[in-house]
Amino acid sequence: MGAPGAGKGTQADTIKHKYSVAHISTGDILRANVKAGTELGKNAKVYMNAGKLVPDEIIIGMVEKRLQEPDCKEGFMLDGFPRTTPQAEALDKLLRKLGLALDAVVELDVSDEVVVGRLTTRRGCKSCGEIYNTVSKPTKVDGVCDKCGGPVVQRDDDKEEVIRKRLAVYHSQTAPLIDYYRAQGLLITVDATGGKDIVLKTLEQKKANQ
């Protein structure tokens, strides 16, 4: 868990390779199901095309199917899900059904101002998806991807006014979720303002002491 720009994707990618666990992003699952034209994907596309949020039962159905794939047998990591208390309750029910359980819920804690600073300087390649930052990881040639030569641009949702709206939604939805998992003794809060290696080391130490 963490606000937009807290570093969830960065940490998830590192943990996935270091510990050989399946990285489950509901956004990725959603896009894959829509692209493959599955029944779940078709149902989700109706809502997406109408600009509405995909209902929890469709997301949970996708997660249930994903958790039963072979690469999840050695462990899995959920990225960006659940986002609300009803989703967390539905996930608990699903995990009981599958005979599984969460052993930790990680909250990457970072201030709104740090998030705004990180995201307004983030850029992405339109061709290959490589991520850059105008401060910490600039392209060698302005606006040109180092990897593939494609155009590097700022996403519309990385503009300050949009970021602040996304943060407001995150805080309103996530505050109850933090309390929900704290009450279960699962929550590990990590200061995510440092470099990615420091954040991971802190997380590993806190998990060992959980």
What confidence tens digit (pLDDT) does each residue in 141-199 have? Answer: 999 999 999 999 998 888 999 999 889 988 888 888 999 999 999 999 999 998 899 99
Average pLDDT over residues 87-98: 95
Instruction: Indicate the pTM of the whole model.
Output: 0.81
pLDDT, position 48: 80
Q: Is 166 a catalytic residue?
A: yes
Residue of 35, 155, 165, 201 marked catalytic: 155
pLDDT, position 166: 87
Residue of 16, 31, 166, 206 marked catalytic: 166
Q: Long-range contact list for 31-35, CB < 8 A, 24+ apart?
A: 33/62
pLDDT, position 191: 96
Q: Is 123 a catalytic residue?
A: no
Residues sharing a CB contact under 8 Å with residue 10, sequence separation 6 or more, in sequence order: 196
Q: Is 122 a catalytic residue?
A: yes
Q: Is 207 a catalytic residue?
A: no
Q: Is 164 a catalytic residue?
A: no
Q: What is the pLDDT of residues 29-82, one digit of tens each?
A: 888 888 899 888 898 888 888 877 788 888 898 899 999 999 999 899 999 789
- Beta strands (DSSP E) in 5-145 are 22-25, 76-79, 105-109, 122-125, 131-133
Residue of 66, 83, 118, 123 marked catalytic: 83
